[in-house]
Structure 1
Amino acid sequence: MRKFTAAVIALACSWTLSASANDSVLKLTQDPNQWALQTGDYANTRFSKLKQINSENVGKLQVAWSFSTGVLRGHEGSPLVVGETMYVHTPFPNIVYALDLNNEGRILWKYEPKQDPNVIPVMCCDTVNRGLAYADGKIFLHQADTTLVALDSKTGKVLWSVVNGDPKKGETNTATVLPVKDKVIVGISGGEFGVHCHVTAYDMNTGKQVWRAYSMGPDKDMLMDPEKTTELGKPVGVDSSLKTWQGDQWKIGGGCTWGWYAYDPQLDTFYYGTGNPSTWNPKQRPGDNKWSLSIFARDPNTGVAKWVYQMTPHDEWDYDGVNEMILSDQQIGGQMRPTLVHFDRNGFGYTLDRKTGELLVAEKFDPAVNWATKVDMDKNSKTYGRPLVVAKYSTEHNGEDVNTSGVCPAALGTKDQQPAAYSPETGLFYVPTNHVCMDYEPFKVSYTPGQPYVGATLSMYPAPNSHGGMGNFVAWDAKAGKIVWSLPEQFSVWSGALATSGGVVFYGTLEGYLKAVDAKTGKLLYKFKTPSGIIGNVMTYTHKGKQYVAVLSGVGGWAGIGLAAGLTDPNAGLGAVGGYAALSSYTALGGQLTVFTLP
C-alpha cells in the first residue's frame, strides 16, 4: 500500500506544471460557432447557444449542401468544425476528410489508414467509429485496429501514432477520445471477446504512454487507492475487484471502455463508464464482478480513481455502463449540487454528486423496464445503491440453456451509446431511447483468445402493451427523476440529440429522418428524410454569420447491423437482426453528410 501511494504521489508531482485544462479545447468549446469535441463540450451537454435557427423558423430549413463519405455501414459520431474547416470521419477504414467551408466542402486533405480487414470480424455490432477530437492544432483519431493517430489539422500529416491494443485478442476501438491538458485519454472495445479492458493516457505531443488503468484486477493495475477511492462514500477497501471474481476470471473479465468521456476542469476529474463482464453467461462468473458496469471518476494527471459506483452488480443482461456522463449543476433537496447525470443501459436514469459520488436520484426513464423494481435508495440498507432484481427476469436463476422471456430492456438497453443532450435553459435532458425487450438464453462457453466469448442467445422485440414501436425520444427531469414528455418512434432512436438556445431539439431516426422538436413541449416542428438511416449525432455551427445544422446518415450500429452486414438470421447480431428486420423496408445503406440552413 505504501509503495502504491508513493508511486501515485511521485506521478502527481511530475505533472504539477500542467495547465488546468487544455486551453485550445476550452476556448473552442466555449465558442458556439465551432464544434471541437464530439459532445460539444467537456461536460457532454450537446447544447449550443446558437439561436439563429429557432422554434419559429426551423420549419423553413433547407439542405445547403451534402457530402458522400464513400463508405457504407454505420456512421456514428459527428463532424467537427474548427475555424473554416470541417473534419469528417467514416466507419472502417476510418477515413478522415478536411473540408473547406469557404468552397462548398472542397476536400483540403484526406487521411486513409491502411488497416488489416481482419479487424472487422472482431468488431462487435458494426464497424462504427464515434468520431474525432481536436486540440492544439491536431486532429486525433482512434482507429478500429486501436492505432491512435495525431494528424496535423492543416495538412493531414501524421505527427505520431501509437498502438493501444491487439485485435488478435479481440481488442478493437469504436470510440472517440478525450484531450485533457497535454494528454489524450482513450478506451478500448472487446467485451464480447474476453478482453481485459482499460483506459489509457498518452502524451498529446509525443504519443508516449503516461498511465493505464484497468477496469478490474489488483488495485495497482486499476490505479485505485483502497483507502481513498470510495463507492457511495465508503472506501472500496483492499482488492475490491479481486474479491468479486472467481479465481483469475478477471483477466478475461471485459469491463470495456468504448463509450464517452466527460471532464470537469474545476474538480480536475474525468468521468466514464465501463462495459459488461465477460462472459454473458452469468453462471460462469459468480460474484459482483467489480468494476464492470461502473461509473469511474479519475484524476487525469495520474489516472488514480477518486470514486466509483457499480450500477448493475453481477450483470445478467449485458447492460454496459458506457453511456455518456452529463455534467450540470442541479438543485436537489433545496441545495445546488455539482451533478453527473447518466442514462444507463439498464433503464435507470442516475443523478450523482460528481465531486463525492453520492447517489441522489435513480429512476426508470422508460416505464417498460421490468428486470428490477427500483434502485435501493435507503442509506441504512445492506442493498443501498443496488437494483432490486425481479427473480422472474433473472437469466441466471433459471439456469443454463433455459430461456428467460420478456426481459425489458433488451441487451442494447433503454439507451445505448447514442448521447443525450441537456439544455440549461429548460433544465431538461433530451434522451434518445430504445423501447425494446428480449428473450435471453445463456449457454456454457469456453474462452479462446480472439474468438467470441458471449455465451447467450438473444431475440428482441418491441416492448409489449405499448405503442408498438421500438423507440421513444424523451424529455427528462433529472432532479425529480421523471419523464416530462415522450415522443414514440417506430424504431429505436439511435441518433445523438442536440439542444439549442433557439428552443429547438434535434435528433435523427433509423428510417433516416432529421427531426426538430420544441424543447419545452416536444411538438414536431420539422422533419427531412436523408438518404440513409441516421445513427450519427446532430451538431451545429456558424459560417460567415449563418447557422448550419449537420448530421451523418448511414444506417448501421447494433440496431442496424442486419442491414449493415447483410445478416438475415433472426438471432444474428446478438438478437438485433430479427428485432429490426422491418427496417429494410424504410432505408438502405449509405454514407452521407447532410448540412441544413435557413434560406
Structure 2
Amino acid sequence: MKHLLNSAAIALLLTGASYANESVLTETGKPGQWAIQTGDYANTRYSKLDQITKDNVGDLRVAWTFSTGVLRGHEGSPLVIGDVMYVHTPFPNNIFALDLTDDGKILWSYQPQQDPEVIAVMCCDTVYRGVAYADGMILSHQADTTLVALDAKTGEEKWKVVTGDPAIGETNTATVLPVKDKVIVGVSGGEYGVRGRVTAYNLADGSEAWKAYSTGPDEEMLVDPENTMHLGKPIGADSSLNSWEGDQWKIGGGTTWGWYSYDPDLNLIYYGTGNPSTWNPSQRPGDNKWSMTIMARDADTGMAKWFYQMTPHDEWDYDGVNEMILTDQEIDGTPRKLLTHFDRNGLGYTLDRETGELLVAEKYDPTVNWTTGVDMDPNSDTYGRPAVVAEYSTAQNGEDTNTTGVCPAALGSKDQQPAAYSPDTQLFYVPTNHVCMDYEPFRVAYTAGQPYVGATLSMYPAPDSHGGMGNFIAWDNINGEIKWSLPEQFSVWSGALATAGGVVFYGTLEGYLKAVDAETGDELYKFKTPSGIIGNVMTYELNGKQYVGVLSGVGGWAGIGLAAGLTNPNDGLGAVGGYASLSDYTQLGGQLTVFELPGDVASAPAEAAPAEDASSG
C-alpha cells in the first residue's frame, strides 16, 4: 500500500523543518511509523494507514507478543522508527529495541539502576508514558528525574542529566517533547508540594536552555506581564504572587506531568499545569495562579504568549495536565487554528491556539455537577470562570466536613489517557471516567518529601447512569456536544487511536482491545489481552502490512489497588475502594500485544473484504 505526500504536504514539511526538529518531522511524516508518543506534534493520535477498515477489522488476530518483565501499570506506547520498535516499562524504566524484521529480536536493552526509594514518592503508581526519538537518539525521562539520551542504534548513553530531586517529592511519569534543538521536560509531585515547572534542555549535550515555573515571580515564570495574555487582556505584573497567600506559591503545585504539543508555524508549545497544593482549599485562599492552566510558550525562549486558567482556586484536585489537541477547522465558515482540551474538571474546551480566545466550554459528561458552566460573556467580570455550585464546594463547606456526591471525582471525567482526533469525521474520540466522590479536607503541614494532600476521598460510579464507571465518547468540539457514547464497566484508562480506515481503537481496564466504527461507534471487534489496558493504542506498517499494538498491564491511579497491593478503600487517594471489583476481571501483567489481519484479508481490496462481527476474547 502506497502513502505518497502531495506537493502541498511536502512544502509544509520542508517549511516546518526550519522551525521544528527536522528528524521528528521526517519520521512522523512517514505513515508507516509511530515516531512520537502523541502520533504527531499536534497530538491527534491519528494514523493515515487504511489497510485495516470497518469491513475487515473483525478479522484481526494476534501476530506476536512481548513480555516486558515488569508488573506495574503500563502507560504510553512503543515507538516504531524504520524496522525497529522501542518498548519501555514502568519503573525501573527499562527500554528494549526490537528488530521487527527478525521476530522481534532484542537488539539492545537499557536497564537503569534507580534508587527504589523513589517509588515511595510516586503518587499514583510507577507508570511511565514512554520514550521519545530525535536526532538518532532515544530520550527517556526516568522516575527519579534522570533524563538520558541513548544512541538509537546501540543503546549507548550519549548524555544524561538530573532534572529534579526525589527527596522533596519531585519525580517523573511523563514523556518528553523534542522540539527544534531542545527537549521539553516536566515534573511530577503536586501531592508533595512541588513547585511546577517546564524545562528545556539542549539536545546536543543535555545542558539547560530555559526554565519556566508555573507559579511565582514573573521573571521565574518567563512572563512579560504586558504581553502575556489571559482571555484577551494582559495578565499584569505579579499575577501569580497576587493570587497566593504569602509564600505559598513556593510549595504551590501546578506540576507539569501531562502531554505536550507543538505548532511549528506559530513556534508555540502547549501544555497544562496541575492542581494547587494542598488539596485543602481553605489553606490556600485566592485563585492560586497559574495552577490549572493551559499555557502557550515560545519554543526557543520559553516566554509565555497566553494563559487560560480553567479552575481557579481548585477545590477538587482537577489537574489541568491533559493533552492539548491542535486542529485546523472552520467555525461559521472561517478557518481557525484551534486547540481542544478535555479537562479533568469535566469540561471540554476549544480555544484559538494563536490568541488563547475561549470559544467553547461544555460538559463532556452530563453528570458533572460542581459547576453550572463557564461564563462566556467577554464583557462580564467573571468571563471565562466556572460558576461553582455551593453544595459541592469543598472550600465553602470547610475543613473536616465531608462534601458528598461531587461529580466528577478527583481523577476527573478524563485523566491523562489521551483522546484522538480524525480529520475524516472531525470528531474527537475520548476515553472517560464516569465517577463521583466524597471529599473531606483536613489541615496539613508541609514537610519536604512528605505527602502534602490534606483530604480524604472515596470514589464510586456516577448515579443515575448505566452503572458503569466509564464511557468512550465521540465529541464535536465546535458545537460542544457528544455525538455518541459507549458505556463501559470501568473507566476507560487507555489512549485512543483513530485511523484513515474509519476505525477507532481503545482499551479497557478489564483488558479488552476494542475497535469501533468512527462514524457510529458500533463495536466491530474486541480481544481480551492478559491484563488491564492503560496503555495507548498505536499502529505501524511493515513490509506493506498494517499492525496495531497496545501495552497491557493494569495499574495507574484507577488500578493502583491491584498494582500496589492496597486494600483500604481510602488508599490510592480514594481510588482503591472505587475500583475494588477490578480484581475480579484482571490481574497484574506487562505485555505488548500486536495484531494483524490474516494474509489473504490484508492483501484483498477493502471493498472485497468480509464484514464479520468477530468479537473474540
Q: What is the alpha-carbon distance in structure 2 between the residues aligned to residue 124 and residue 241 of structure 1?
A: 26
How far apart are residue 334 of structure 1 and its match? 2.9
- 1:549 is matched with 548
The answer on 1:446 being equivalent to 2:450 is no
User: What's the CA shift string for 1:148-187, capped at 9, x where partnerless?
Assistant: 0000000000100000000000000000000000000000
- Tell me the matched-pair count: 582
Superposed, which structure 2 residues align to 1:32-431 within 5 Å? 32-431=31-430
How far apart are residue 246 of structure 1 and its match? 0.1
SS in 1 for 2:54: coil
Superposed, which structure 2 residues align to 1:496-511 within 5 Å? 496-511=495-510
SS in 2 for 1:377: coil
How far apart are residue 516 of structure 1 and its match? 0.1
Letter in 2 for 1:402: T
Q: What is the alpha-carbon distance in structure 2 between the residues aligned to residue 178 and residue 525 of structure 1?
A: 34
SS in 2 for 1:337: strand
The answer on 1:477 being equivalent to 2:476 is yes
How far apart are residue 90 of structure 1 and its match? 0.2
User: What's the CA shift string for 1:378-426, capped at 9, x where partnerless?
Assistant: 1111110000000000001111000000000000000000000000000
Q: What is the alpha-carbon distance in structure 1 between the residues aligned to residue 328 and residue 370 of structure 2?
A: 30
SS in 2 for 1:562: helix
Q: What is the alpha-carbon distance in structure 2 between the residues aligned to residue 555 and residue 448 of structure 1?
A: 32
Q: What is the alpha-carbon distance in structure 2 between the residues aligned to residue 90 and residue 211 of structure 1?
A: 29
* Identity, % of aligned positions: 77
Q: What is the alpha-carbon distance in structure 2 between the residues aligned to residue 46 and residue 169 of structure 1?
A: 34
Q: What is the alpha-carbon distance in structure 2 between the residues aligned to residue 501 and residue 238 of structure 1?
A: 47
SS in 1 for 2:306: strand
Superposed, which structure 2 residues align to 1:560-579 within 5 Å? 560-579=559-578
How far apart are residue 565 of structure 1 and its match? 0.1
Q: What is the alpha-carbon distance in structure 1 between the residues aligned to residue 163 and residue 23 of structure 2?
A: 25
How far apart are residue 199 of structure 1 and its match? 0.2
Q: What is the alpha-carbon distance in structure 2 between the residues aligned to residue 506 and residue 283 of structure 1?
A: 42
User: What's the CA shift string for 1:506-561, capped at 9, x where partnerless?
Assistant: 00000000000000000000000000000000000001110000000000000000
SS in 2 for 1:102: coil
Q: What is the alpha-carbon distance in structure 2 between the residues aligned to residue 240 and residue 332 of structure 1?
A: 32
- 1:5 is matched with none
Q: What is the alpha-carbon distance in structure 2 between the residues aligned to residue 220 and residue 50 of structure 1?
A: 45
Q: What is the alpha-carbon distance in structure 2 between the residues aligned to residue 403 and residue 36 of structure 1?
A: 46
User: What's the CA shift string for 1:576-599, capped at 9, x where partnerless?
Assistant: 000000000000000000000001
- 1:9 is matched with none
Letter in 1 for 2:69: G
- 1:3 is matched with none
Q: What is the alpha-carbon distance in structure 1 between the residues aligned to residue 219 and residue 212 of structure 2?
A: 9
Q: What is the alpha-carbon distance in structure 1 between the residues aligned to residue 205 and residue 18 of structure 2?
A: 17
SS in 1 for 2:395: coil
Q: Point out where structure 2 has 5 or more consecutive residues left out of the alignment.
A: 1-16, 599-617
Q: What is the alpha-carbon distance in structure 2 between the residues aligned to residue 272 and residue 71 of structure 1?
A: 30
User: What's the CA shift string for 1:426-451, capped at 9, x where partnerless?
Assistant: 00000000000000000000000000
How far apart are residue 290 of structure 1 and its match? 0.2
How far apart are residue 28 of structure 1 and its match? 1.1
Q: Point out where structure 1 has 5 or more consecutive residues left out of the alignment.
A: 1-17
How far apart are residue 30 of structure 1 and its match? 1.5
SS in 2 for 1:341: strand
SS in 1 for 2:320: coil
SS in 2 for 1:397: helix
Q: What is the alpha-carbon distance in structure 1 between the residues aligned to residue 420 and residue 538 of structure 2?
A: 11
Letter in 2 for 1:111: Y
Q: What is the alpha-carbon distance in structure 2 between the residues aligned to residue 328 and residue 399 of structure 1?
A: 42
Letter in 1 for 2:157: V
SS in 2 for 1:277: coil
SS in 2 for 1:91: coil
TM-score (normalised: structure 1)? 0.97
The answer on 1:495 being equivalent to 2:494 is yes
Letter in 2 for 1:143: Q
How far apart are residue 330 of structure 1 and its match? 2.1
SS in 2 for 1:472: strand
How far apart are residue 19 of structure 1 and its match? 3.5
User: What's the CA shift string for 1:44-93, capped at 9, x where partnerless?
Assistant: 00000000001000000000000000000100000000000000000000
User: What's the CA shift string for 1:8-60, capped at 9, x where partnerless?
Assistant: xxxxxxxxxx9411111111111110011101000000000000001000000
Letter in 1 for 2:150: L
- 1:598 is matched with 597
Q: What is the alpha-carbon distance in structure 1 between the residues aligned to residue 298 and residue 417 of structure 2?
A: 26
Q: What is the alpha-carbon distance in structure 1 between the residues aligned to residue 27 and residue 500 of structure 2?
A: 18
Q: What is the alpha-carbon distance in structure 2 between the residues aligned to residue 101 and residue 384 of structure 1?
A: 53
SS in 2 for 1:28: helix
Letter in 1 for 2:553: G
SS in 1 for 2:394: coil
Letter in 2 for 1:77: G
SS in 1 for 2:397: coil
Letter in 1 for 2:569: P
CA RMSD in angstroms, aligned pairs only: 0.6
SS in 2 for 1:50: coil
Runs of 4+ with >6 A deviation: none
